[in-house]
């Protein structure tokens, strides 16, 4: 499809010159643009390497190794031009170019790693030695034996003691790149540090209990101790040696075992597995020496975290969902300002998936790579440019910038091959003209607030493309959040399916993916929103809801929301059970529950409620229950009265100090106890001051001075 430079220039507010061979005979025009010193955007990714080399050449305008900083790329070929709908793709191309032109987000804080190349290889010694031979020139290697394996094969190095060998029972392996801690129990009679590998013990053992890893299989040993006699000179074998725990720090770990040391989906950086065939793990290890940085992917505001109050656990969404085991629930140090249970994120283990921020109901965890306002600008630019250029019913397709991007490129190439008669049996039409792809560091880093914002900005649908990159639990988490978002739009009367997960493993799934991409549009808002995405997640969610409600075909009193993952809702209260103790007020982290200093009242602001359940778990009378819903009533923002009671006046001075029901409940429960008879029972009806006065003025009370 020939591009229309005039219409694209009008959409982007600049004069554009169309180039058809910029990477070949028109390369001079590219070099000239670089020499101007302005940022250059190349709308093709095929020759990225060539353009970077041209930018770095003398006279290219930007000298130095990092010379291509003002050079950026966007793919409009596979994602737009190579499609059966290429003739209608101009609005989409304009939108992709406009989003790619946006200034780069401000840099975020970083997390540092340092690796000196100390590598621990765990596995059978035969396989461990083969791996060590491929890595030993670059890394400082230690082997941990898990049996001899093929220790007599070509290149076996045990006899020469080329590498230190550890043995025993592994108790734990923890850590990350540059800081792996191995703890193991030295419980074998043979001390590998003293062993000279003379093989005398191997020859002496009649039960073949000693392998070429020079460790004794105690289940096969019959205690004849011939090995001890054979090792008299070296003294490396001692069956009476006390088992001891040792520990050592390593920078890298290569695991050759069938069962890995870590069970989480996202393994720690610096920990790799090798099957003995695929060399990519070994190549990656060779590159992991030096100093490294990664972004600090999230921000955290503890004061609004709904995880815990008063040693009661509420929301655990981030702890339960993390695929890197980077988030834990821990108690603060004794005497610290926050000594109660709280979440802790291990910055070194975090891989930046952002699912914790997507599920966090209060916004205590926020995604920072990029930050929400920067992501909001991208959404508004992409959807706004598409609409201004004449595009209709935009479908926003969120995908990862690696595996997801490759799938879309495969889809576009397959469509081009189909167009020239070289396609496969599974025909494809490519990425439709109304589908706007948006690459993310991780597909689950955007959630309910920004999905609804995209709809408010004019999108017809929001689709999330999932591949094998994502942890299995993320699929269910995103599906649950999409059910909430869809329930809101359906309840407001917007027709169609606005949210969908698209799952694809490789190119074989592209035919089905193509069918999903051709799905019918859902109903859009009549007027696109103009608000800006806020740093506060709840503020953005409220702005999106306000716009969607204002444009809604239907406006019911309330919309029921599914599941326990809803961040919106109300509270149901059993007034007969409630004693107005107000323990729920102190437990609420977001001030949704409030008291009235002037009179015994419990008030509730539904807009603030994050449905964490802390109030429900705190209530001693079990009088509260969560009610997931979206109320459309104006009173949702106001403090409404949940319960109130008649105050109880002190029987001595008449000052109110509690509620009638609470005092009656206390008197009723303690009235039959032997310690609360006569005057002691009457004191329960007094305020704190009068209780002390009455206690000290009662002549019948026994005093410590008398004892």
User: H/E/C letters for each residue in 341-359?
Assistant: EEEEECCCCCCCCCHHHHH
DSSP state of 65: T
**Rg, Å, the chain Cα set:** 34
Domains of the chain are: 1-73 (no CATH), 84-102+371-554 (no CATH), 114-292 (3.50.50), 296-345+355-367 (no CATH), 568-644 (3.30.70.3270), 648-697 (no CATH)
Give the three-class secondary structure for 273: strand
State the Cα–Cα distance between residues 295 and 108, nearest whole angstrom.
6
State the Cα–Cα distance between residues 706 and 232, nearest whole angstrom.
80
> What pLDDT does residue 69 have?
46
Query: Shortest CA distance to 435 belongs to which of 467, 413, 412, 416?
Result: 412
Strand partners, 145: 123
On the CB side of 339, CA atoms within 13 Å amount to: 5
* Structure tokens, 10: 């009008």
> What pLDDT does residue 487 have?
98
> What pLDDT does residue 299 have?
94
Cα of first residue to Cα of last residue in the chain, in angstroms, is 103
Task: State the sign of the Cα–Cα–Cα–Cα dihedral 235, 237, 239, 242.
Answer: positive
State the Cα–Cα distance between residues 683 and 676, nearest whole angstrom.
9
Give the three-class secondary structure for 36: coil
> What pLDDT does residue 7 have?
86
CB atoms within 10 A of CB 460: 23
Pairing, β 647-649 against β 656-659: antiparallel
Query: Shortest CA distance to 439 belongs to which of 500, 381, 396?
Result: 396
State the Cα–Cα distance between residues 210 and 627, nearest whole angstrom.
66
Is the distance from CB of 652 to CB of 694 less than 8 angstroms? yes
DSSP state of 634: G
CB atoms within 10 A of CB 644: 15
Helices 448-456 and 472-491, axial angle in degrees (round to 10): 40
pTM for the model stands at 0.88
- Give the distance, in angstroms, between the CA of residue 70 and the centroid of all CA atoms in the same chain: 30
Q: Which residue has the tokens 């702890």?
A: 319
> What pLDDT does residue 563 have?
77
Pairing, β 244-250 against β 327-331: unpaired
On the CB side of 106, CA atoms within 13 Å amount to: 6
* Structure tokens, 479: 């599906």
On the CB side of 322, CA atoms within 13 Å amount to: 24
Query: Phi and psi for 84 in degrees, rounded to 5?
Result: -65, -15
Is the distance from CB of 403 to CB of 26 less than 8 angstroms? no
- CB contact set of 484 (below 8 Å; sequence gap of 6+): 448, 561, 562, 563, 565, 566, 567, 568
On the CB side of 37, CA atoms within 13 Å amount to: 0
* Structure tokens, 134: 């491929």
On the CB side of 536, CA atoms within 13 Å amount to: 9
The secondary structure of 537-604, three-state, reads: HHHHHHHHHHHHHHCCCCCCCEEECCCCCCCCEEEEECCCCCCCCCHHHHHCCCCCEEECCCCCEEEE
Query: Shortest CA distance to 481 belongs to which of 361, 393, 366, 340?
Result: 361
On the CB side of 292, CA atoms within 13 Å amount to: 17
Q: Which residue has the tokens 């598409």?
A: 386
Block mean pLDDT (10 aa), the chain, length 707 = 81 86 89 83 90 77 47 92 90 95 91 97 92 94 89 55 89 97 94 89 91 89 90 92 94 96 96 92 95 95 92 94 95 56 94 96 95 97 97 96 92 85 69 95 96 98 94 96 98 97 82 78 96 97 98 96 91 93 94 91 96 95 96 95 90 86 85 83 90 82 61
Helices 5-12 and 372-388, axial angle in degrees (round to 10): 140
> What pLDDT does residue 704 have?
61
How many residues are listed for the chain in this entry?
707
């Amino acid at each position: 499809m020939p591009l229309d430079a005039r219409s694209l220039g009008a959409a982007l507010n600049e004069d554009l010159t169309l180039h058809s061979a910029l990477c070949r005979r028109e390369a001079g025009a590219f070099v000239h643009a670089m020499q101007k010193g302005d940022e250059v955007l190349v709308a093709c990714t095929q020759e990225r390497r060539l353009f970077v080399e041209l930018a770095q050449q003398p006279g290219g305008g930007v000298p130095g190794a990092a010379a291509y900083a003002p050079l950026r790329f966007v793919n409009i070929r596979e994602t737009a031009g190579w499609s059966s709908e290429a003739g209608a793709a101009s609005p989409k191309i304009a939108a992709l170019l406009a989003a790619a032109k946006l200034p780069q987000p401000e840099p975020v804080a970083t997390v540092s790693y340092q690796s000196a190349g100390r590598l621990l290889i765990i596995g059978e010694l035969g396989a461990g030695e083969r791996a060590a031979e491929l890595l030993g020139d670059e890394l400082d290697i230690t082997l941990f034996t898990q049996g001899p394996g093929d220790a007599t094969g070509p290149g076996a190095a045990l006899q020469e003691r080329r590498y230190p060998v550890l043995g025993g029972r592994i108790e734990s392996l923890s850590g990350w790149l540059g800081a792996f801690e191995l703890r193991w129990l030295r419980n074998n009679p043979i001390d590998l540090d003293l062993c000279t590998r003379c093989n005398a013990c191997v020859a002496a053992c009649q039960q073949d209990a000693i392998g070429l890893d020079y460790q004794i299989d105690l289940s096969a040993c019959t205690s004849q101790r011939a090995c001890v006699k054979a090792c008299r000179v070296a003294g490396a074998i001692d069956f009476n040696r006390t088992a001891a725990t040792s520990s050592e720090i390593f920078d890298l770990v290569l695991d050759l075992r069938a069962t890995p040391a870590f069970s989480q989906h996202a393994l720690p950086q610096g920990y790799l597995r090798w099957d003995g065939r695929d060399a990519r793990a070994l190549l990656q290890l060779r590159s992991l020496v030096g100093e490294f940085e990664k972004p600090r992917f999230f921000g955290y505001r503890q004061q609004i975290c709904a995880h815990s109050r008063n040693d009661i656990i509420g929301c655990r969404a981030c702890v339960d969902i993390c695929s890197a085991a980077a988030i834990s629930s821990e108690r603060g140090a004794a005497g610290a300002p926050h000594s109660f249970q709280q979440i802790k994120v291990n910055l070194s283990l975090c891989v930046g998936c952002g699912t914790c921020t997507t599920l966090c109901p209060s916004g205590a965890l926020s995604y920072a790579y990029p930050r929400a306002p920067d992501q909001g600008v991208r959404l508004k630019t992409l959807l706004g440019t598409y609409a201004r250029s004449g595009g209709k019913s935009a479908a926003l397709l969120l995908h990862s910038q690696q595996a997801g991007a490759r799938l879309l490129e495969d889809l576009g190439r397959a469509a081009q091959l189909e167009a020239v008669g070289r396609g496969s049996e599974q025909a494809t039409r490519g990425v439709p003209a109304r589908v706007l792809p948006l690459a993310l560091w991780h597909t689950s880093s955007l959630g309910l607030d920004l999905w609804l914002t995209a709809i408010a900005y004019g999108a017809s649908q929001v689709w999330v493309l999932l591949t094998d990159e994502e942890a299995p639990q993320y699929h269910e988490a995103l599906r649950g959040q999409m059910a909430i978002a869809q329930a809101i739009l359906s309840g407001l009367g917007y027709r169609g399916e606005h949210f969908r997960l698209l799952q694809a493993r490789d190119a074989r799934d592209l035919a089905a993916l193509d069918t999903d991409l051709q799905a019918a549009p859902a109903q859009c808002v009549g007027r696109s929103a103009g608000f800006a995405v806020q740093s506060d997640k709840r503020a953005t969610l409220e702005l999106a809801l306000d716009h969607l409600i204002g444009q809604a075909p239907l406006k019911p009193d309330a919309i029921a929301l599914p599941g326990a993952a809803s961040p919106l809702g109300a509270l149901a209260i059993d007034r007969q059970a409630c004693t107005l103790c107000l323990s729920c007020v102190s437990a609420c982290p977001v001030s949704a529950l409030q008291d009235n200093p002037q009179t015994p009242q419990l008030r509730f602001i539904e807009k603030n409620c994050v449905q964490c359940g802390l109030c429900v778990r705190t209530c001693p009378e079990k009088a509260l229950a969560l009610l997931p819903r979206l109320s459309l009533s104006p009173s949702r923002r106001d403090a409404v009265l949940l319960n109130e009671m008649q105050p109880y006046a002190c029987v001595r001075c008449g000052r109110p100090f509690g509620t009638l029901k609470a005092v009656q409940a206390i008197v009723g429960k303690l009235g039959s106890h032997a310690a609360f008879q006569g005057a002691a029972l009457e004191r329960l009806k007094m305020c704190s001051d009068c209780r002390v006065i009455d206690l000290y003025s009662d002549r019948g009370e026994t005093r410590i001075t008398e004892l």
